[in-house]
Amino acid sequence: MVTAVEARKKDIIMRLNESKLKREEREQKIEEDKQRSEDRKAATEEAREKWENDNSAAIQKYEAYAEAVAGGETPDLEEGEEPPTKPNFDEKFFLYNWDEEHPAINIPAEVVDDVDNDWIIAADKKDDLIADFAVNRAEELAALAPSTPEDTKGKKK
């Protein structure tokens, strides 16, 4: 009976640890998504400014033409020359390319802890149990792994 109870407790703590790790991963992904959104907005503003600097002559030409038309004058155009059109920054195209280079972050679903009614654990003790489990698990894994490269030289795979 004692062995069964210990195994059950170990299982509960293991699942609590997994839930904790999943919550931490979700929080990290949310932060990465926030950073990506900020980077996307900054890149768009930067690209718009660069585009405006690169196309300033065409923008000024259109604005001068628009002012003349608004003032009632008919600007002189050379024969066969089209009236200037207002250049526009293609934000959708820029965002499409940016999103291709920086894919969206997949945020995992919210983690819900399993309810174990057979062992009631106080909230403050739960964190201690999870920390102890993580330490014990790390020690188990360290015992299984070779400690130095020399340990693996004589062993066959």
Q: What is the pLDDT of residues 81-92, one digit of tens each?
A: 777 788 899 999
Mean pLDDT across the chain: 86
Compute the residue count for the chain.
157
In a domain, 65, yes or no: yes
In terms of Cβ atoms closer than 10 Å to its own Cβ (0-12, 13-18, 19+), residue 126 is middle
In a domain, 155, yes or no: no
In a domain, 151, yes or no: no
Percent of the chain with pLDDT over 90: 43
Higher pLDDT: 148 or 117? It is 117
In a domain, 149, yes or no: no
In a domain, 45, yes or no: yes
In a domain, 31, yes or no: yes
| 116-138 mean pLDDT | 86
Count of structural domains within the chain: 1
Model pLDDT for residues 130-143, shown as the tens digit of each residue: 899 989 888 888 88
In a domain, 9, yes or no: yes
In a domain, 152, yes or no: no
Long-range Cβ pairs for the range 36-39 (8 Å, 24+): 36/102, 36/104, 36/105, 39/102
Higher pLDDT: 29 or 58? It is 29
Higher pLDDT: 99 or 119? It is 99
CA torsion sign, 128 to 130 to 134 to 137?
Answer: positive
Q: What is the pLDDT of residue 145?
A: 83
Model pLDDT for residues 36-82, shown as the tens digit of each residue: 999 999 999 999 999 999 988 888 888 888 888 777 777 777 766 77
Percent of the chain with pLDDT over 70: 90
d(CA 133, CA 13): 7
d(CA 111, CA 21): 10
Question: What tokens were used for 3?
Answer: 């062995």
| 99-112 mean pLDDT | 92
Give me the residue label for tokens 């604005």.
Answer: 63
Q: What is the pLDDT of residue 157?
A: 47
Host domain of residue 39: 2-104+116-144
d(CA 47, CA 65): 26
